[in-house]
Amino acid sequence: MKFKRLVTAVAFETNALGEKNQIKGLATALTKAKSPSHKAVYALNRNMFIKNITPRSLRRSDYETDKTFEEDIFLCLDNYFRHHLLIPRIFITAYIQAEKENAAVNADELCRLIKKYYQIRQMGRILTVVMTSGFGVYKYADIVNTPYHMLSEKELSEVKKNADKFFISSGIIHNMTKTFIRQKWGQKRLQQFASRYNNGNKNIIICLGGTTQNNDIIMGTDEINTILERCRKLKNKGFNVIIISGPRTPNEICDYLYEQDIDFYNGKKIAADDEERKNWRIYSGKYEYEFAEFSKKYGNIYPGILGLKNTLAVHTFDSFAVCETASSGIPSAICSDVKINKERRSDCYRLRNALISDNYAIDFADYNGACAPDELCLKILPNVNRVLAEIIIKKMENLTQT
């Protein structure tokens, strides 16, 4: 009987770390939320990700016909259910911004085929959820999370007309909490590494975003030198300054920073073979050996290093990861020293402006170190995961009653 009460979520596998963390973060939030009727118990799957066993990406825009796309989706689902007896009742997918005008269509088509599969296989009903979406027309998604910064004023007005389907959030879904940071911070090897910074000084941790494939966002040496200049001034005032690269940080920028007089640590996965060296999100540069040796000894120091006392986490404004630290109670700053096409990526500007104006973060350009990070008195960004989880559970309750 208890087994029948379990409600789990499912999603297609993804190689995008940010997207995967969002899915995990929402699924975890579901397990912590309470079911009003107590008729359901929300639990995590042992493996909630459906493997892609086809040679193609599972995006409708990459297929010529609905039929071939459906065949591949059903093939992956059949393979998943051969290995999983429990039938998930929630399907989660993400709006992939890089897909531009196809992003909403691709997400909605996945929702459509999930529902069709369940209907044909007589598996009951499934609730479909799209995370972190820009504006789009959704027919098959039951719940769509649309962060405020991803909508123009006109789009915001349109979305508000359909409040039953759309949840407008401040910030994005993520998989970080203060507890998670403490757990990472407590690891012995991280403590060994961090001992060099436990010197009583205040800390600045620069979390880099990076360039996009379509060059809507560019991080070059000119931008990095501006960041380095700010860092050196703070270092001269007695701050510990740490720079950590992200998945989109160009390899040449990682190499350049490693050669400077500031503590730089690679946060990208390191290429293990020639095939991985073709992936721009995986590091392959002059310092593969050095970065690999560091990783073997200490692992990825982010986000555990955020456990340092009196720390300001600084994110370049092309990265939405500022929402992670701002909602985890870590004093946060936004650095605008990245070239971003304002017409095509106005969302980056809107997020930066909203977080700073609402006192969830400060502008790094305005920070001179006179005030310690712990004295900034910033507000904590609302937890999007928790609110969306509550909306999903409420919708689930309504589904079971119809």
35 pLDDT exceeds 80?
no
Of 119, 112, 111, nearest to 11 (Cα)? 111
Both 199 and 329 in a single domain? Answer: yes
Both 253 and 366 in a single domain? Answer: yes
Mean pLDDT of 370-385: 94
Q: How many domains does the chain have?
A: 2
Both 123 and 236 in a single domain? Answer: no
- Share the mean pLDDT of the chain: 93
Give the pLDDT confidence score for residue 214 in this predicted structure. 86
Cis preceding-peptide flag for 303 (omega within 30 of 0): yes
In 121-249, where does DSSP find H-type helix?
A: 153-160, 178-185, 188-194, 221-236
Give the pLDDT confidence score for residue 19 in this predicted structure. 87
> Cα–Cα distance between 344 and 212 in angstroms, integer?
12
Both 321 and 349 in a single domain? Answer: yes
| 3-state class percentages of the chain: helix first, strand second, coil last, to nearest 5 | 45, 15, 40
Distances from the Cα of 114 to the Cα of 41, 111, 331, angstroms: 22, 5, 41
Both 155 and 196 in a single domain? Answer: no
Give the pLDDT confidence score for residue 362 in this predicted structure. 98
Of 264, 246, 253, nearest to 316 (Cα)? 246
Report yes or no: 402 and 43 within 8 Å, Cβ to Cβ. no
Both 8 and 55 in a single domain? Answer: yes
Give the pLDDT confidence score for residue 40 in this predicted structure. 79
Both 255 and 392 in a single domain? Answer: no
> Cα–Cα distance between 299 and 293 in angstroms, integer?
9
Both 19 and 136 in a single domain? Answer: yes
In 248-383, where does DSSP find H-type helix?
A: 251-258, 288-298, 322-327, 346-357
2 pLDDT exceeds 70?
no
For the chain, the farthest-separated pair of C-alpha atoms sits apart, in whole angstroms, at 67
Give the pLDDT confidence score for residue 401 in this predicted structure. 59
Of 367, 375, 372, 347, nearest to 150 (Cα)? 347
Report yes or no: 17 and 94 within 8 Å, Cβ to Cβ. no
> Cα–Cα distance between 166 and 157 in angstroms, integer?
12
Both 227 and 357 in a single domain? Answer: yes
Report yes or no: 348 and 341 within 8 Å, Cβ to Cβ. no
> Cα–Cα distance between 50 and 73 in angstroms, integer?
10
> Cα–Cα distance between 18 and 209 in angstroms, integer?
12
Both 57 and 203 in a single domain? Answer: no
pLDDT in tens, 242-269: 999 999 999 999 999 999 999 999 999 9
pLDDT in tens, 64-89: 999 999 999 999 999 999 998 889 99
Give the pLDDT confidence score for residue 399 in this predicted structure. 73
List the domain range (segments joined by +) for residue 222: 178-375
Both 278 and 306 in a single domain? Answer: yes
pLDDT in tens, 158-188: 999 998 999 999 888 888 888 889 999 999 9
42 pLDDT exceeds 80?
yes
Band of residue 47 on the pLDDT scale cut at 50, 70, 90: confident
Mean pLDDT of 228-245: 97
Both 229 and 157 in a single domain? Answer: no
Give the pLDDT confidence score for residue 1 in this predicted structure. 39
Assign residue 288 the CATH number of its domain. Answer: 3.40.50
Give the pLDDT confidence score for residue 402 in this predicted structure. 52
223 vs 98, more confident = 223
Give the pLDDT confidence score for residue 88 in this predicted structure. 95
pLDDT in tens, 288-342: 999 999 999 999 999 999 999 999 999 999 988 999 999 999 999 999 999 999 9
Of 166, 160, 158, nearest to 142 (Cα)? 166
> Cα–Cα distance between 80 and 68 in angstroms, integer?
19
35: left (phi over 0), alpha (psi -120 to 50) or beta: beta
| Bridge-based pairing state of the strands 143-147 and 49-50 | unpaired
β-strand partners of 315: 207, 334
